[in-house]
Chain A
Amino acid sequence: MSLPQVDLETGTRSKRDPIVNNFSISISTVNGSGSATANSTILRALFKMGIPVNGKNIFPSNIQGLPTWYNIRLSKEGYLARLDNNDIVIAMNPTTFAREQQSIISGGVLFYADDIKFTIGRDDIISYAMPVKKLTKEANVPANLREYIANMVYVGVLAEMLGIDLDAIYQSLDLHFKGKKVPVDSNFEVVKSAAKWASENLVKKDIYRVEKMNGTSGCIMADGNTAAALGAIYGGVQFAAWYPITPASSLAEELIQYLPTLRKDPLTGKTTYAVVQAEDEIAAIGMATGAGWGGLRSMTSTSGPGLSLMAEYLGMAYFAEIPVVVWDVQRVGPSTGLPTRTSQADLTFVNFVGHGDTQYIILLPGSVKECFEFGWRAFDIAERIQTPVLVLSDLDLGMNQWMSDKFEYPEVSMDRGKILWEDDMDKLLERLKGAEWGRYLDIDGDGIPYRTVVGNRHPKSVYFTRGTGHDEYGHYSEDPEVWERILNRIRAKFTTAKQYLPKPIIRKNDGAKFGIIAYGSVDPAVEEARDLLAKAGILTDYMRVRSIPFAPEVGEFIKEHSKNYVVEINRDGQLKQLLTLETPDYATHLIQTSHIDGLPLTARWVEEQILAHEG
């Protein structure tokens, strides 16, 4: 970021070029003060102006009273990663005022509520006081709503000072309040009066402004949890059980929001699904496992602490070969940890969860659009392989607003896997020429048996499901050979599975010096860091891993590059650990590049880590 030159003595504009559509805004408020409406209004208005934009909520585990921040990044190049310095700060919270000032870059801007009685200790920033109380009092709203409407003051002031289109703000409010005229108008009145006040009373001394551009056409703005829920709905989800937990709750809540409209039976108008809020995560996964066993497309969504409780049923679903989809929207652990902060630290737990020899299919969406895609694809894979599929999202991806390509309608039919109804059973028995069908019999040699589900009236379809040792026909068995045979056959499914899993995305550059490997929500930071490195003359190859078991391409990439920086948000380098197990002969090709402070990675951090290593 270039430092603008500001003449504070005379209060004149910078002689440097203005910074247009390429800066960050941090809005500091008190949790529970209703700032979410104001913040999303700004975000949406910028998006409507065609400016690539991204909003991240850095919030406390609290309902009311603790500080919260909303970080908006405008990037004409379309970079979506977090920035760790702020160009503009809007300070509405006295308790964090001192800290807020320090986060502003030199030449940056501070907007603050004029009732905050602190001195400004920086002479290299520009500050504007906003008469929040005064303008709120003058607004024609009931006293009990004043606190909420107060946030519209900074919307109006910012709009005036940066040039945000008031029409776009009106449209955003209209969308937020679902067209309800009274709240739309009362909020918009405050925005207008604040903008008017700013135009009459503030002199523009900073260099930041926005301009309409064509950077968002064909794009949507969404969070990963909504995308995942919608993906599941288009994947035909029939049963979801859940227990409230940050940051996963909104995934199930979005299911509840959209299902009634989208999923009425076209023939009867009746429901085609059920969503049950369970008493805990043990019950949630139990219900989901039962429904998956019964032949429904079944899922649950949780975060680390809930996943800990699900270990028991996941092991059973693995061994009894039951399809079920589990979304883990990762937050910071261990223990209760930082419930409202993001991480990628559940990867090894998810990979190894359950006692005994277990293995899971893990999907790793790296964007909102992929959350939608993996939302439906996870069911196809779970039913095809007859095993739990765990989808690892995280708080940053799941709860923050991302600019994204539109959700794409599934171009393939649902894969219900090897499920036998009455006619299918007849055909299979014909094919078997007198041999018996067995629930755990590997008929096709791909490790995947055929399954029947409840209600099947074919006399040969019934079997008994158990988590205890069983033979190919589901009969109880403690026979050593049977045990080993069944367990090895289950492992074979995971080799077959690879062909059904999303391949890694690999981007190569001629003359690349090394590789970068990452997964999930760090993708934007890595891509931006690669551009920064490229500007410094360092070209890189990049592989974004999207599923486990790893595709053959993963090992090849590691082999090809003598150095691979494995970038992730955790302490122990968990993806690097799993890659080391995958390619033990090339373990020295992997360089742990991990870090966890609860915040989304920045491109600068990635760049610095790599440069430090590269010397």
Chain B
Amino acid sequence: MIDQPATSISRQPTNAIGLTRSDYRGAPSTLCQGCGHNSISAQIIAACYELNIPPDQIIKFSGIGCSSKSPTYFLGRSFGFNGLHGRMPSLALGGLFANTTLKAVGVSGDGDTASIGLGQFKHLVRRNLPMVYIVENNGVYGLTKGQFSATAEQGLNLKREGTNPYLPVDICMEALVAHATFVARSFAGDPKQVKELLKAALSHNGIAVLDIISPCVTFHNQDYSIHSYAFGKDHEAALHEVSYVPAREEITVEDFEEGTVREVELHDGSVVVFKKLETDYDPTDRWQALRMLEEAERNNWLLTGLFYLDTKEPSLFDVFAMPDYPLNRLPESRLRPSRESLDKINSMML
């Protein structure tokens, strides 16, 4: 049984597996108008469509919060699980063992990941579960109406909460320190970069952390804050231009100049192309990534790009030597040991 393309007679374009963009859409969003999360959902749809991923071969996960509601707004033909606050990582880890051939996209928020779920997040990262882990980061709790999150900058003023006294958690730094193998930051107002990063993340055989600054237009969109559209538009500094080139496609980067482009091949043969902008940056150097993030924080830059990529570290499923067929389809004959083996066990029980 294979997903059939939509049978409508419309002339919607289709991708290589015969599906239209609509086949990747979800239910209409119930988030606020202008919410950055909606624009990220749109890029998830675009990336999966363009990568020709069958919707039944990808699973969606989320925790609790505005961001975590969004998985119903994309990939309506994929299985999904909207779990508990801060507990998406454990749920996803168990769920993916059921069928290790599937891809996964998890959507979390800054409250869900950097506060209540910081422990699970870091442990998921160090286990290198192959999944895309998106943090839709707006520095504020939206669903409970505007409290500070752990990524809110010190000194931030919010209407009902006053001034934030604490220093922020930097999700990319946390990911790097926990040995994440793919760490990127982007801005919901930069859809092209979001999409390219999503595509690379979906091809990565390991945990891919995408911290996407996604302004909350209702409770926290103050121009001076790093989590606002205005700030992002004015201060976004891309570390490099990231392009994703699928496997078996020729790499043709415009303005190609010797020494200005760096390529990293992913597990499935696709390639991430980093086009150098101002700084000379090695995306395979974890130490440099941390230093760059530190510099960005000191200078109040919204630095975006793929900060770190390690394609050599085995994924969790490599470590467990999981078979390349789904565990959840194994019949009893392959799960229950023989009667004779129990006789032997009984004879050993003393």
Interface residues of A (CB under 8 A from B): 44, 47-48, 172, 175, 220-222, 226, 230, 233-236, 238-239, 241, 258, 262-263, 265-268, 270-274, 276, 278-280, 282-298, 312-313, 316, 406-407, 409-410, 413-414, 421-422, 452-459, 461-468, 476
Contact = CB atoms under 8 A, between A and B. Distances in A.
A465 B335 contact: no
Given A279-B120, A312-B87, A465-B80, A292 B342 contact: no
Contacts of B95: 290-291, 293-294, 454
B237 interface: no
B293 interface: no
Contact of B123 (A47, A279, A456): A279
Contact of B329 (A221, A421, A452): A421
Contact of A413 (B81, B90, B332): B332
B299 interface: no
Contacts of B90: 241, 278, 282-287, 289-290
Interface in B4-52: 4
A271 B325 CA distance: 11
B72 interface: yes
Contact of B92 (A241, A290, A465): A290
B82 interface: yes
B280 interface: no
B341 interface: yes
B326 interface: yes
Contacts of A265: 323, 330, 334
Contacts of A288: 94
Given A274-B97, A293-B95, A464-B71, 10 more contacts: A230-B345, A239-B327, A268-B323, A283-B87, A286-B87, A286-B90, A286-B91, A295-B98, A462-B55, A465-B80
A44 B303 CA distance: 67
Contact of A457 (B3, B93, B96): B3
B350 A270 contact: no
A409 B339 contact: yes
Given A282-B87, A316-B83, A454-B102, A271 B321 contact: yes
| Residue among A267, A291, A294, A465 with max Cβ neighbours from chain B (10 Å) | A294
B341 to A, nearest CB: 6
A300 B243 CA distance: 43
Given A238-B330, A270-B321, A466 B120 contact: no
B172 interface: no
Given A265-B323, A290-B95, A454-B59, A459 B3 contact: yes
A265 B336 CA distance: 10
Given A265-B323, A271-B321, A313-B87, A292 B337 contact: no
A462 B97 contact: no
3 smallest beta-carbon distances between A and B, as pairs: A294-B98, A286-B90, A290-B94
A294 B1 contact: no
A235 B326 CA distance: 19
A476 B321 contact: no
A106 to B, nearest CB: 34
B333 interface: yes
Contacts of A262: 337, 341
Nearest to B126: A279
Contacts of A286: 83-84, 87, 89-91, 93-94, 120
B335 A454 contact: no
Contacts of A459: 1, 3-4, 56, 77
Contacts of A457: 1-3, 54, 56
Contact of B349 (A221, A271, A274, A293): A221
A284 B123 CA distance: 12
Interface of B: 1-4, 54-57, 59-60, 71-72, 76-84, 87, 89-99, 101-102, 119-120, 123, 320-323, 326-330, 332-337, 339, 341-342, 345-346, 349-350
Contact of A454 (B98, B123, B320): B98
B178 to A, nearest CB: 11
A291 B84 contact: no
Given A267-B334, A296-B98, A455 B3 contact: no
Given A221-B349, A239-B97, A270-B323, A287 B330 contact: no
Given A266-B333, A286-B91, A271 B96 contact: no
Given A270-B321, A280-B119, A457-B3, A465 B98 contact: no
Given A294-B95, A294-B98, A414-B336, A234 B342 contact: yes
A272 B333 CA distance: 11
B338 to A, nearest CB: 9
A454 B99 CA distance: 7
A417 to B, nearest CB: 13
A406 B342 CA distance: 9
A270 B123 CA distance: 26
B56 A462 contact: yes
A271 B334 CA distance: 10
Contacts of B72: 464, 476
24 contacts: A172-B350, A221-B349, A236-B332, A236-B335, A270-B323, A271-B320, A283-B90, A287-B90, A290-B83, A292-B94, A294-B94, A296-B98, A407-B345, A453-B79, A455-B98, A455-B328, A456-B56, A457-B3, A459-B4, A459-B77, A462-B56, A462-B77, A462-B79, A464-B82
Contacts of B332: 236, 413-414
B68 to A, nearest CB: 10
Given A222-B349, A236-B332, A316-B83, A455 B120 contact: no
Nearest to A288: B94
Contacts of A222: 349
A313 B1 CA distance: 33
Contacts of A296: 94, 97-98, 327-328
